[in-house]
Structure 1
Amino acid sequence: MSTPAERYAASRARQRWESTPAGRFTGTLGFALDPFQLEAIEAVQGGAGVLVAAPTGAGKTVVGEFAVALALETGRKAFYTTPIKALSNQKYHDLVARHGADNVGLLTGDSSINGEAPVVVMTTEVLRNMMYASSPTLDGLGFVVMDEVHYLADRWRGAVWEEVIIHLPESVQVISLSATVSNAEEFGDWLRQVRGRGDAGSLRVIVSEHRPVPLWQHMMVGQRMYDLFVTDGTRAPSGADGTTRVNPELLQAISAAERSSRSEGGWRREDAGGPRGRRGDRRGGRGGRDDRRGARHHGRDQRPAERGRRDDGARAYSGGDAGFARGSLPGGVASRTQVIDRLDREALLPAITFIFSRAGCDAAVQQLLGRGTRLIPEEQGQTIRALVAERVAEVDPADLGVLGYHDFVEGLSRGYAAHHAGMLPLFREIVEELFTAGQVRSVFATETLALGINMPARTVVLEKLVKFNGEEHAPVTPAEYTQLTGRAGRRGIDVEGHAVVLWRRGVDPMDVAGLASTRTYPLRSSFRPSSNMAVNLVAQYGRERAHELLQSSFAQFQADRSVVGLTTQVRHNLEALEGYAASMVCDRGDFREYGRLRHELSELEKKAAGTRQAQRRSHIGEALETLEPGQVVQLDGGRHGTMAVVVKGARGRSAGPEPTVVTSHGRVQRLTVAGFRDVPEVIGSLKIPSHFTERSPKARKDLAAALRSTVREPIPGRRGRDEQASGIPAGVETQVEDLRARLAAHPCHSCPEREDHARWAARWWKLRKETDDLQRRVSHRTGTLAATFERICDLLSEAGYLSEDGQEVTPEGQRLRRIYTELDLVVAEALRRGTWRRLTPADLASVVSALVHEARKDDPGDPPTPSVEVAEALGEMQAIWTQVQQAKLAHNLTGDREMDPGITWMVHRWASGRGLEEVLRSGDLSAGDFVRRAKQVVDLLGQIAQAADEEVAATARRASSAMLRGVVAADRLD
């Protein structure tokens, strides 16, 4: 027991703590803080900036909320910044609930509420623009919270974070909140360098890898769930010390599933005979787990008969196979309805299932509706229906059917919903609110949900471990896996969280274990200067000072650090090259010269092979472009047949020559250049029925039967292989023969140890090439950002946006300062040349859409334009874009993406007052995509209204008003 003196000292210490701002703040929370939270709060109270890196759900935002409370208590301002509007809206509501509407404001691209309040929530872009404009709103600013600061690695928008951090006054305390990254200390070192004194006292780096709610990793094979890890015969959560191996029972189950599927001759899905709706108390088995698991889960000993649903929603796991669908195949992949039913019976809901496909998310809801699944009581569903009806009251009833409202509300009333960027933003917000409130039990989502929105669940399910990253289908990275599964486990609600990966053919449990156990997520800068940034920096700081500021970016900080390692590697390589040179000395002559000749010959032959390959691909592409419907071609073989009939010609130049065919096995596929070893051969023809549609399985089956009966299947030959082995192209044949002759005549050619020397020579040339590459990288990284900035300034001086000496911003440059879009110079040039003066508001909105739109898929061709005026304006804008790219190329700068007029017709119709159904019918965007693009158009129109002369500015304001109606305005906060 403690002594009276010790108790008295503890009491006094507690009183002193409770009398501080930190003590008063923590006393209002109602729960005890973790050590990393207390450490960070005390550092902020002491006047330091902080970088807090901790797992999702660990409670990092408490530190940001303390900074807000401290600002209000000390009479200063606090800005709370987030990367996305949805998170800004969510944080705004949280802070209003705590501090009152009078004290909190919101500024995003489409919302402005109480912007002069002492606490303002905003997207990071708004703060960046505010700083460049020297807004008086910045007066009295004491704290900036940068939530999700690891977003600075985003390739498109990450640069904004660095701009803000660099340019904020030194007096402002920056509270950076990040997911766990492995180079937090490096990031912290940079923050100290740019945010003040550079010593440890100016900024504290606080890292916690502890999850308040343990995360257990599982895989589901068929309908059985297995723990992923074991340690010394016991279960182990993700990241637990001592986790050494994958559960052997899981490996055995997968082996059995693979054998079973092979014996069945294929892969079966288990939709047939699956559950419909709730299944009462039917319990499913859980491999590798015994009945004692329940007692461990709840922290007390329970008899099996007593185990079941607890008040907190937790349930023990039962052993055996009682809950399996009769006749199910262990090797099959459980259907979505079966997965959700299983989780429901095991008390593992609410759950988020990441599908990585918008269509897949919507299909999941349809599948549950089709099976009559209900996850919540009907009474609760009726309450949800009334709430949703109230939220959508301002949406035109005629638009609700187009938006899929009835299926949306039916799913919600049963406890499940989709969540993806293709949905109406208002619908997504409703899903988020209901899920957070515990009224929705299952959400099927794309990875966009993982970007900071506070929607934790008890369980996270990953259907696949491959997702489209914007360019290709690529494996999920360890950082992405951690971000996604980090949603599992609600602090203060769940005893533990669960991550479930569905096993399917090709999924290696060792790969899953690697994703779950990797703890290396380095934060890499994506910072690069732009034209808008350049004119703003010159205007604010002058060119020389701007140059220094860019040198202080995190990108340059990382580049300079990496140069140290690169130069060390170059030094080691040069030493190794000397050793290689000594080993290839030959008494017959200069073997280095002989090795050079052999190297040149090898490179020339590789080049010749590449030329042959390019010519072959070109010939194949030309042949594919000429294929017409009805022609039958011979394929290169494979399991889908060796011949096919063309049903649709090449899709157009933007997508490449990819005609659509039906194979002799009835499979629809596109023919690509990569699918052929040689030029495709037309071996016959077949009449395509006028009523044929490739979407009909029966039509495909009938066409394939006609193909097999009409055209003779060719016998595979060796023509392609023989032609591929043809000689070197004539253009380089002479050079090759000359090099071979010089090699034969060289004195070293007759050396008996020639090949031994040659091996050292080959190593020398390989290392020489690597060393040259390293030296180029060193040269490129040293001062790279500043050099790019100088080239941009030279271009802007040449174009008249900066003075001839590049030291001052011209009137046209002042216009450019207000344009923050990616194609900033195109917008500025269009304004300068009066390209948009003749346009109506609908016309202007239409052409502006070409500057913000980026098609998610290959564009089938140029869409029709809504008016002659729009067509002329787009033509002028295209000419401007081309001139800008040529100027950038001349200054050795990276070019811009192309304009995309794909939604000009849709935007024109919407701005002209047409209904949503008509607008969506004229394009291929979903309602959510259209609303997002429409808001981007509104945002750019607002910039144009501030930058243009009065005539175009007035048109831009009218265009913005015309766009902000109906569903586009429905989710704006009141």
Structure 2
Amino acid sequence: MSSPAEQYARARERAARAATPAGRFTQSLGFELDPFQLEAIQAVQDGAGVLVAAPTGAGKTVVGEFAVALALETGRKAFYTTPIKALSNQKYHDLVERHGSANVGLLTGDSSVNGEAPVVVMTTEVLRNMMYSSSPTLTGLGFVVMDEVHYLADRWRGAVWEEVIIHLPPSVQVVSLSATVSNAEEFGDWLRAVRGGGNPESLRVIVSEHRPVPLWQHMMVGTQMLDLFVTEGAGPGSTRVNPELLQRISQAERSASSGWSREDAGGPRGRRGEPRGGRRDGRGRGRDGGRGRGGGERGRSDSRRRYDDAVPVLERGALPGGVASRAQVIDRLDREGLLPAITFIFSRAGCDAAVAQLLGRGTRLVPEEDGRRVRDLVQQRVAEVDPADLGVLGYHDFVEGLARGYAAHHAGMLPLFREIVEELFTHGRLRAVFATETLALGINMPARTVVLEKLVKFNGETHAPVTPAEYTQLTGRAGRRGIDIEGHGVVLWRRGVDPVDVAGLASTRTYPLRSSFRPSSNMAVNLVAQYGRDRAHELLQSSFAQFQADRSVVGLTTRVRENETALEGYAEAMRCDRGDFREYGRMRHELGELEKKLARQRQHERRSDIARSLEELAPGQVIQLDGGRKGTMGVVIRGTKRASAAPEPTVLTSNGSVQRLTVAGFKDVPEVIGTLRVPTGFNSRSPRARKDLASALRDTVREPRPGRGRGGGADEESGTAYPHRGEARVDELRAQLRTHPCHGCPEREDHARWAARWWQLRRETDDLQRRVSERTHTVARTFERICDLLAGLGYLTPDGQQVTQEGQRLRRIYTELDLVVAESLRRGTWRRLTPADLAAVVSSLIHEARGDEVLDARMPTVEVEEALGEMGAIWREVLSLKSEHRLEGDREPDPGIAWMVHRWASGRGLDEVLRDGGMSAGDFVRRCKQVVDLLGQVASSGAEPEVARAARRASDAMLRGVVAADRLD
């Protein structure tokens, strides 16, 4: 019981906090903040930048929301940036709900809502483009929130984050929100260097590894769910794999090999029948609220559990190989009170198939009344979509699944459909979602349980194992703060899945953040235009990529310094009062290296001569094998095969053995000492044939005495048989050594030993310095090579110091194939194209076929085909120029959707456009928006009037139907 004085002091403290912006903000939330959130909010209030690294679902965004509130309170602007449009949409709606639509705007590639509001949500690319164009919207900017800042590691888009961080004015406070990474301090050091001039008070790094909702890891074997780790008596954080799980998997493997039994569905499982490995401490799903629906039920009764476990697996439809069907998994989770759940499948077709399987089985996860309300809501949301298109989009199965409580979520869906799924799931109206990994990025769709069907996914190039960082990001969706007392991650066991590997994924906590930054042509012209080439060079030196490269050589430079100190000591030890022993040692070192080189050359030439001689041997020739000892001559019975990679003739020796000759078996070129007729059809496997031929060999050909012939032991090191020009230098060095003053020093060999050490260490140090040089200034050197290329093409002045008129056009082209676009505009490649033709041509610049896509590659018009041919030639020219300048090339334009885009831009219906096209509706809509975005860049780039006019008309023609109905995605 605290004293009145203590109570009064605490009351005064609370009142003082409430008088600050941070205090008012925290009081308005209605829930208690964690220490890391309070610390970060206080740092923002104090004027510092912050880097907050915390697990998914820990509440990082509260810090960004405080920056927004502080901007509004202090009369400044705040930009809230995200990596994807879907997350921008979600944050926009969240902030509108809190601050009102008048105060919040949205800017994405194809949407502009109240863009001059004091708070604007946008994708990071939009902010980058605003800075390069010196947009007046930046005036008064006080805060930039960078949500999911760890996305700067993304191979394709990560450079945008670094560009923004480097170029933002120093007066702007940056609030960076990241997933947990192991090198947060390193990233923070870089942020301090570029944002605060190295001032340690300019940025606070706040790391929290605490999950507010504990996460339990499981594996499901058949339909039985067991703990992944031992928990009972092992203490918190145990990483020892559950032996019961290992035993159950062993049983399942035997059953899968011999046919399924009743136990495969989760039969007798020990004294408690618990599917979690026998937790008895009350902290598992059996704890009140952890297993029941809505956190209130305690789970099914033991009698019901025993009944379910005893149902034969064939009756329940288990799949071969010990894997429960998707319907079985959802049923199991539903009975255990572990819904809502997200099942990550890593396949768009798999996600759709999962919904179809549940529909085919008649699964219902929500009451019918709730389903009717969902139908009404969805009908309102799709009101703008042409009813004729809804059938093409699979609308009826989509809404039926939603009304029953489940849906798919992947990039191949119509963006509007994905947004509906996100909204319904967030508001608790869906119980199961089958998703690809795109759902794990930022979008706030937490669940009680996350299921991973497989631990291998396609990464864009190949099927690769899920990384520990990806595993944590995916399972991090499990456990809703304020709703669940714990979350659950479930991996489905199938043959080939090792629980030890799963445990390694679940327990790894090392996720380093690596920069993917690399300059581009567009970046180069924008930097030169804004800062000049020299200043731009300096700016790129401050990129996180260069920061990491420089840090990677810290250890090397330390070793270089240590070696330099040792070299000074060696030089002192070899000092000689007769003369310059370093010079004498240099000549001895050169002589030794040259002698080794000559010996290697002689050996190489000798081996080449031996190989050539063996290759020329013919059947019947008798050769000396190893210097004339008894039994060391042989007759060739088979020559070298024509297609053989190495000469390997076969001989019969004088003692009757058969040998295959190789270069390694000779010290010198073998000498032919006679000939002998080998019987036609000689069978080397016949002992009698071998004996007769060996006898004839001994009787016919006289064995040479030891030491006779070329094979008798030419001096390998003498060099007399293989003279070289370098030997003159050897003689010269030997003469110089004999006349050097130090040659007669009585301590010469002692000094020489120190000199040998000096030269060896000098060689190692030079190698280290070369490695340091290769890693230093790598980003800036790439920038300089790009500038040289652009100067040669006329986008920069010949000295590379200023941007030309053509370069000004390139400044407005933000696409991977920026030079192809700029060159196409400069050469008039698109001059005579209709709007539909131009849209089709532009689609080749943004489309990149997925690995499983088979698209209709027909050309819509002759003009499109000719333009694409010219663009292909331009791409090859650019590729060749980049190769000359030692720059990485760009992918080739892909006309795979030109036919579909042309039909859409010509006013055709969605059914006709997609028919036989091989592309999903969602992918097509997304590509259309990217085409519209690039057309807008072309129209505003200063292109010829007729091209700009065609680009605007093409953009208008594309923005209709399902493409226009989803402008906020």
TM-score per shorter chain, which class? 0.7 to 0.9
Spell out, residue by residue over 1:216-263, the C-alpha distance to the aligned partner (whole angstroms, 9 max, x if none). 0000111111101114x3477xxx43x141111001111111122223
User: Which of 818, 822, 826 matches 1:824?
Assistant: 818
Match of 2:968 in 1: 973
AA of the residue aligned to 1:322: Y
Spell out, residue by residue over 1:639-661, the C-alpha distance to the aligned partner (whole angstroms, 9 max, x if none). xxxxxxxxxxxxxxxxxxxxxxx
Match of 1:509 in 2: 499
Spell out, residue by residue over 1:81-134, the C-alpha distance to the aligned partner (whole angstroms, 9 max, x if none). 000000000000000000000000000001100000000000000000000000
Would the aligned equivalents of 2:855 and 2:919 in 1 still touch at CA under 8 Å? no
1:875 CA drift (Å): 1.2
User: Which of 295, 301, 312 matches 2:295?
Assistant: 312
1:925 CA drift (Å): 0.8
User: Which of 892, 902, 918 matches 1:908?
Assistant: 902
Q: Structure 2 CA distance, aligned partners of 1:18 and 1:181?
A: 33
Give secondary structure in 2 for the equivalent of 1:830.
helix
Spell out, residue by residue over 1:491-516, the C-alpha distance to the aligned partner (whole angstroms, 9 max, x if none). 00001000000111111111000000
Would the aligned equivalents of 2:935 and 2:954 in 1 still touch at CA under 8 Å? yes
Would the aligned equivalents of 2:900 and 2:917 in 1 still touch at CA under 8 Å? yes
Q: Structure 1 CA distance, aligned partners of 2:109 and 2:479?
A: 33
Q: Structure 2 CA distance, aligned partners of 1:604 and 1:885?
A: 40
1:197 CA drift (Å): 3.3
Match of 1:932 in 2: 926
Q: Structure 2 CA distance, aligned partners of 1:257 and 1:744?
A: 70
Q: Structure 2 CA distance, aligned partners of 1:155 and 1:385?
A: 40
Give secondary structure in 2 for the equivalent of 1:230.
coil
User: Which of 791, 794, 803 matches 2:785?
Assistant: 791
- Return 862-871 or 963-972, whichever deviates more: 862-871
Match of 1:553 in 2: 543
AA of the residue aligned to 1:92: Y
Tell me: CA distance 1:224–1:539, structure 2 relative to 1, closer, same or farther (3 Å).
same
Match of 1:146 in 2: 146
Would the aligned equivalents of 1:53 and 1:177 in 2 still touch at CA under 8 Å? yes
Q: Structure 1 CA distance, aligned partners of 2:799 and 2:262?
A: 70
Would the aligned equivalents of 1:800 and 1:812 in 2 still touch at CA under 8 Å? yes
AA of the residue aligned to 2:152: L
1:44 and 2:44 matched: yes
Tell me: CA distance 1:873–1:744, structure 2 relative to 1, closer, same or farther (3 Å).
farther
Would the aligned equivalents of 2:300 and 2:335 in 1 still touch at CA under 8 Å? no
- Return 196-205 or 128-137, whichever deviates more: 196-205
Give secondary structure in 2 for the equivalent of 1:498.
strand
Q: Structure 2 CA distance, aligned partners of 1:545 and 1:121?
A: 30
1:323 CA drift (Å): 1.5
Match of 2:421 in 1: 431
Match of 1:961 in 2: 956
User: Which of 437, 445, 456 matches 2:446?
Assistant: 456
AA of the residue aligned to 1:559: A
Q: Structure 2 CA distance, aligned partners of 1:460 and 1:601?
A: 66
Would the aligned equivalents of 1:269 and 1:333 in 2 still touch at CA under 8 Å? no
Give secondary structure in 2 for the equivalent of 1:323.
helix
Tell me: CA distance 1:181–1:596, structure 2 relative to 1, closer, same or farther (3 Å).
farther
AA of the residue aligned to 2:368: E
User: Which of 442, 446, 456 matches 2:432?
Assistant: 442
- Return 315-324 or 365-374, whichever deviates more: 315-324
Would the aligned equivalents of 1:221 and 1:331 in 2 still touch at CA under 8 Å? no
Structure 2: stretches of 5+ with no match in the other structure: 267-271, 571-588, 613-640, 650-661, 670-712, 720-760
1:198 CA drift (Å): 1.3
Give secondary structure in 2 for the equivalent of 1:50.
strand
- Return 864-873 or 550-559, whichever deviates more: 864-873
Length-normalised TM-score, structure 2: 0.78
Would the aligned equivalents of 2:50 and 2:175 in 1 still touch at CA under 8 Å? yes
Q: Structure 1 CA distance, aligned partners of 2:262 and 2:138?
A: 59
1:950 and 2:921 matched: no
Q: Structure 2 CA distance, aligned partners of 1:965 and 1:269?
A: 56
Bigger CA radius of gyration: 2
Q: Structure 1 CA distance, aligned partners of 2:404 and 2:90?
A: 25
Q: Structure 2 CA distance, aligned partners of 1:560 and 1:91?
A: 36
Supply the RMSD in Å over aligned alpha carbons: 3.7
Match of 1:693 in 2: none
User: Which of 307, 319, 322 matches 2:307?
Assistant: 322
Would the aligned equivalents of 2:253 and 2:322 in 1 still touch at CA under 8 Å? no
AA of the residue aligned to 2:534: E
Match of 1:661 in 2: none
AA of the residue aligned to 1:963: M
AA of the residue aligned to 2:30: G
Would the aligned equivalents of 1:906 and 1:922 in 2 still touch at CA under 8 Å? no
Would the aligned equivalents of 1:380 and 1:413 in 2 still touch at CA under 8 Å? yes
Tell me: CA distance 1:768–1:251, structure 2 relative to 1, closer, same or farther (3 Å).
farther
1:886 and 2:805 matched: no
Write the mapping of 1:723-762 to structure 2, written as runs, cut at 5 A. 727=646, 741=668, 746-747=716-717
Q: Structure 2 CA distance, aligned partners of 1:453 and 1:556?
A: 31
Match of 1:375 in 2: 365
Tell me: CA distance 1:109–1:725, structure 2 relative to 1, closer, same or farther (3 Å).
same
Match of 2:745 in 1: none
Write the mapping of 1:213-232 to structure 2, written as runs, cut at 5 A. 213-231=213-231
Match of 2:275 in 1: 287
Match of 1:131 in 2: 131
Spell out, residue by residue over 1:517-536, the C-alpha distance to the aligned partner (whole angstroms, 9 max, x if none). 00000000000000100000
Structure 1: stretches of 5+ with no match in the other structure: 275-283, 579-584, 609-721, 750-766
Would the aligned equivalents of 1:456 and 1:490 in 2 still touch at CA under 8 Å? yes
Write the mapping of 1:23-102 to structure 2, written as runs, cut at 5 A. 23-102=23-102
Match of 2:116 in 1: 116
1:10 and 2:10 matched: yes
Tell me: CA distance 1:171–1:590, structure 2 relative to 1, closer, same or farther (3 Å).
closer
Give secondary structure in 1 for the equivalent of 2:66.
helix
Write the mapping of 1:672-683 to structure 2, written as runs, cut at 5 A. none
1:569 CA drift (Å): 6.8
Tell me: CA distance 1:327–1:826, structure 2 relative to 1, closer, same or farther (3 Å).
closer
Write the mapping of 1:523-672 to structure 2, written as runs, cut at 5 A. 523-567=513-557
1:779 CA drift (Å): 2.9
How many matched pairs? 812
Tell me: CA distance 1:312–1:834, structure 2 relative to 1, closer, same or farther (3 Å).
same
Match of 2:167 in 1: 167
- Return 878-887 or 86-95, whichever deviates more: 878-887
Q: Structure 2 CA distance, aligned partners of 1:771 and 1:860?
A: 54
AA of the residue aligned to 2:496: G
Q: Structure 2 CA distance, aligned partners of 1:804 and 1:590?
A: 46
AA of the residue aligned to 1:941: L
Give secondary structure in 2 for the equivalent of 1:460.
strand
Match of 1:634 in 2: none
1:358 and 2:353 matched: no
Match of 2:694 in 1: none
Q: Structure 2 CA distance, aligned partners of 1:286 and 1:571?
A: 62
Q: Structure 2 CA distance, aligned partners of 1:359 and 1:505?
A: 22
Would the aligned equivalents of 2:522 and 2:813 in 1 still touch at CA under 8 Å? yes
Q: Structure 1 CA distance, aligned partners of 2:606 and 2:296?
A: 69
1:292 CA drift (Å): 4.8
Q: Structure 1 CA distance, aligned partners of 2:296 and 2:945?
A: 61
Match of 2:190 in 1: 190
1:923 CA drift (Å): 1.6
Tell me: CA distance 1:474–1:770, structure 2 relative to 1, closer, same or farther (3 Å).
farther
Would the aligned equivalents of 2:905 and 2:958 in 1 still touch at CA under 8 Å? yes
User: Which of 241, 255, 262 matches 1:260?
Assistant: 255
1:887 CA drift (Å): 1.4
Q: Structure 1 CA distance, aligned partners of 2:552 and 2:606?
A: 33
Match of 1:386 in 2: 376
Match of 2:752 in 1: none
Match of 2:473 in 1: 483
Tell me: CA distance 1:849–1:939, structure 2 relative to 1, closer, same or farther (3 Å).
same
Query: Identity over the aligned pairs, expressed in percent?
Result: 76
Give secondary structure in 1 for the equivalent of 2:327.
helix
1:917 and 2:878 matched: no
Would the aligned equivalents of 1:297 and 1:495 in 2 still touch at CA under 8 Å? no
Would the aligned equivalents of 2:342 and 2:447 in 1 still touch at CA under 8 Å? yes
Give secondary structure in 2 for the equivalent of 1:229.
coil
Tell me: CA distance 1:314–1:956, structure 2 relative to 1, closer, same or farther (3 Å).
farther
